[in-house]
Amino acid sequence: MKLLAGSYDNGATADDEKAILLSFQSESREIYKDHPHEWDIAYGGPSREVFDWFYSTGENKGTVVFLHDGYCQFCNKEDVAFIAKNLLLFGFDVVLVEYTLAPTATLADICQQIGVAVDAIEQRVKQRGGKPVYLSAHSAGGQLAAFWQHYRCVRVFFAISGIFELEPLLTTYVNQQLKLTAQQTENLSFLVRNIPQSLKPLALLYGTEELPELIGQSVYYHSVLQDKGLLASCCPVNGANHFSALQALFATDGMMCRQLLTYGEISDANNH
């Protein structure tokens, strides 16, 4: 299949984008107020190289690391804390990673920041009993997470409405701040263009009401993996757009929560 360039303007999929984002922020403030956490734990030098760590109640099942969306030029980790509500109740720590935004940092710089963050998270996970790390991301965060899906402490990679092949972005408004070149898209899209011999478990998720461009990214990546004989799931979320997909996936009975609980049970069984 051929990927579409398109607009990549995700706001076009929601009539009330501003209201949705405001509700995300409101719900997220409640999470910070109601749950034990550490705020702005530094993993690097610049001020945005920090992460927030929310601590689960009861027996810890693992740590879910989440990278926010915003095409690496908008949004903040505090905006998406609402995704932690049910994960914390189910026994998962949740780490929200921040990074320097473009154009202050290039996409290559941001990718390297995520690697440093995951390394710092691994050290803290060891102090928490060494339970599995689940790397998850939304939208452009999917590319950042995909870059580090092979990392030694990562058990499973979840990409929600992810972007994996960057070339279609070159002619869109998204690239005004990213300033990607053809060579950079080649280097940073390597997991699509140079598929490794093996992959860790990988789940690609997207809303059925998203832009065709975003749906195409997940479907395309999945088809490339299948052609290489690698197992990966590709799961549509019926009736969800780019934003409501997050609410649906992280709901009490949402697909993300169900899959994480399943992996957590497998991990517990293997440790006994």
Average pLDDT over residues 16-43: 94
Q: What tens digit of pLDDT does each residue of 34-86 get? A: 999 999 999 988 889 999 999 998 889 999 999 999 999 989 999 999 999 99
Domain ranges of the chain: 12-270
Per CATH, the number for 12-270 is: 3.40.50.1820
Average pLDDT over residues 206-211: 95
Average pLDDT over residues 117-141: 94
- Residue 269 in this model has a pLDDT that exceeds 60: no
CB 54 within 8 A of CB 65: no
Say which range, 31-40, 139-148, 186-195, 220-229, has the weakest mean pLDDT.
186-195
CB 75 within 8 A of CB 105: no
Q: What tens digit of pLDDT does each residue of 95-117 get? A: 999 999 999 999 999 999 999 99
pLDDT score, position 267: 53
pLDDT score, position 196: 78
pLDDT score, position 2: 54
